[in-house]
Amino acid sequence: MTAKTIYSGTTHNVGGANGYTRSADGFLDIQLSDPHPAAENFFGAAWSGCFMGAIGLAAAQKKIRLPEAPSVDATIDLQMEGSAFFLRAKLDVTVPGIDIEVARDLVDLAHEICPYSKATRGNIEVELNVLEPAFA
């Protein structure tokens, strides 16, 4: 069986004082200063967006209706030890309207489903936290 490409994103990046990132579809067009921590922000945004979709898929697989949309706060740390650079990630996940233990099960399953989680598995330290929803 041949893999089917669902979506392909292409970006062009230019560094320096007048640096920028632009996507081929025009969705992203961001000016960047030099040096910039944009890569960690982009990675966190992409991973957390994908992770929310994985939570929805996990819920569908378990036949659980999500009464509200989940949220994910991703923190991507660029670390250095000696002369080696590496990443560390923390995903703080909230699944409103769902029992916290059920939410933990969904988050664990989502971590198995999400392509970003798969890509980083065994490569970087990942902390997954399931948070109780804050009530207004």
- CATH (domain of 77): 3.30.300.20
Residues 24 and 45 both lie in one domain:
no
| Statement to judge: residues 29 and 51 lie in one domain | no
Asked if residue 44 and residue 17 are part of one domain, the reply reads: no
Q: Are residues 51 and 30 in the same domain?
A: no
Residue 1's domain is classified under what CATH number?
2.20.25.10
Per-residue pLDDT for 130 more than 60?
A: yes
Q: Which of 77, 66, 74, 63 is nearest to 111 (CA)?
A: 74
- Looking at the domain assignment, is residue 86 inside a domain? yes
Q: Residue 35 — pLDDT band, cuts 50, 70, 90?
A: low
Identify the domain containing residue 124 by its residue range: 38-131
Half-sphere exposure of 24 (CA within 13 A, CB side): 5
Distances (CA, A) of 67 to 26, 54, 70, 128, 132: 33, 16, 9, 22, 15
Predicted confidence at residue 43, as pLDDT, reads 94
Band the pLDDT of 37: cuts 50, 70, 90: low
Average pLDDT over residues 80-101: 96
pTM over 0.85: yes
Please indicate, yes or no, whether residues 48 and 91 belong to a single structural domain of this protein: yes
Q: Are residue 70 and residue 8 in the same domain, yes or no?
A: no
* Domain annotation covers residue 56: yes
Cis peptide preceding 35, ω within 30 of 0: yes
